[in-house]
Amino acid sequence: MAVDVQTVLGTFVPSLFLPSLISRDKDGVLRELVGHVRASGLVREDAPLLEMLKSRERLGSTGIGHGIAVPHGRSLAVQHLVAGFAKHEKGVEWDSVDGEKVHLIFLILAPPVEMPNRYLPFLGRVVEAVSDPERRSKLVEVKSFPQFQDFLRHALT
Amino acid sequence: MPSRKPTPETASETAAEPRDPLTILVLLQDLDLLLREASDPAHSAEAGRMGFQMGGLEELRKAREELAATLDARTMRQYEVASKRYGGRAIVPIKNRICLGCSGLVPTGANYGAHRILLCQSCGRILYPL
* Domains of chain A (ranges, CATH numbers): 5-156 (3.40.930.10)
Question: How far is residue B45 from each of residues A29, A120, B9, B35, B39, measured CA to CA in Å?
Answer: 27, 12, 37, 14, 10
- The ipTM, to two decimals, is 0.91
Element (H, E) at A72: strand A72-74
Task: Collect all residues with Cβ–Cβ distance below 8 Å to A133 and sequence separation of at least 6.
Answer: A66
Environment class of A143 (CB within 10 Å of its CB; exposed 0-12, middle 13-18, buried 19+)? exposed
> Taking the domains of chain B in order of start, what are their residue ranges?
19-44+52-129
pLDDT tens for B48-105 read 999 998 899 999 999 999 999 999 999 999 999 999 999 999 999 999 899 999 999 9
Residue B114 has a pLDDT of 53
Domain B19-44+52-129 sits in CATH at 1.10.287.1490
Model pTM score:
0.91
- Does A52 sit within 8 Å of B63, measured CB to CB? no
Cβ-Cβ contacts under 8 Å, B129 against chain A: 44
Cβ-Cβ contacts under 8 Å, B31 against chain A: 52, 55
pLDDT tens for B8-61 read 554 544 444 567 899 999 999 999 999 999 999 999 999 999 999 889 999 999
φ/ψ of residue B64, rounded to 5: -65, -45
- Does A123 sit within 8 Å of B19, measured CB to CB? no
State how far the Cα of B86 lies from the Cα of B125, in Å rounded to an integer.
8
pLDDT tens for A101-133 read 999 999 999 999 988 889 999 999 999 999 999
Question: How far is residue B35 from each of residues A38, A39, B59, B82, B117, measured CA to CA in Å?
Answer: 25, 29, 11, 18, 24
- Which residue among B7, B54, B89 sits closest to A112, beta carbon to beta carbon? B89
